[in-house]
């Protein structure tokens, strides 16, 4: 299992900073990645001491909900890996890696089938944290 990148950890940290604890579903919705990817990242971050997990009854039959909380180690990690200097990427490189780029058309733009471009890129408009 590969470890989450610094950017992924920063995204999780940003989402968790909005609440005192969040479920996998809430975190996944904020990240915009699959449930499996979210669980993998959270599990590795918990093993690495960046998160801790509690269990909350859902009020229904079945397993209790896992609620994730940031640790002080996550705050330390974020300060240590502060990206205030930023990273510059050429949009052509970025769009080539984008999972929503299908032959130059943005599949995230919906039925309008807009051409993939920096001006209307919905991924770039999404805040990282």
Residues 111 and 63 in one domain: no
129 inside domain: no
Residues 29 and 59 in one domain: yes
Mean pLDDT is lowest, of 28-32, 70-74, 83-87, 88-92, for 83-87
What pLDDT is recorded for position 89? Answer: 64
Residues 10 and 70 in one domain: yes
61 inside domain: yes
The number of distinct structural domains making up the chain is 2
CB 51 within 8 A of CB 42: yes
d(CA 61, CA 59): 7
Domain that holds residue 43: 6-80
Residues 59 and 114 in one domain: no
CB 69 within 8 A of CB 51: yes
Q: What pLDDT digit, counting tens, does each position of 36-62 carry? A: 999 999 999 999 899 999 998 878 888
Residues 13 and 40 in one domain: yes
Residues 39 and 76 in one domain: yes
Residues 57 and 96 in one domain: no
Mean pLDDT across the chain: 81
Q: What pLDDT digit, counting tens, does each position of 1-12 carry? A: 566 778 788 888
pTM above 0.85, yes or no: no
């Amino acid at each position: 299992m590969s470890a989450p990148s610094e950017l992924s950890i920063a995204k999780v940290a940003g989402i968790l900073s909005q609440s005192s604890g969040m479920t996998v579903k809430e975190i996944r919705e904020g990240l915009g990645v699959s449930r499996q990817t979210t669980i993998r990242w959270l599990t590795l971050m918990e093993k690495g001491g960046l998160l801790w997990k509690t269990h909350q009854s859902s009020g229904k039959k079945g397993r209790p909900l896992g609620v994730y909380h940031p640790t002080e180690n996550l705050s330390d990690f974020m300060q240590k890996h502060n990206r205030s200097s930023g990273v510059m990427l050429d949009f052509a490189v970025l769009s080539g890696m984008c999972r929503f780029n299908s032959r130059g058309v943005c599949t995230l733009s919906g039925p309008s089938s807009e051409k993939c471009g920096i001006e209307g890129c919905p991924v770039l408009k999404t805040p990282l944290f």
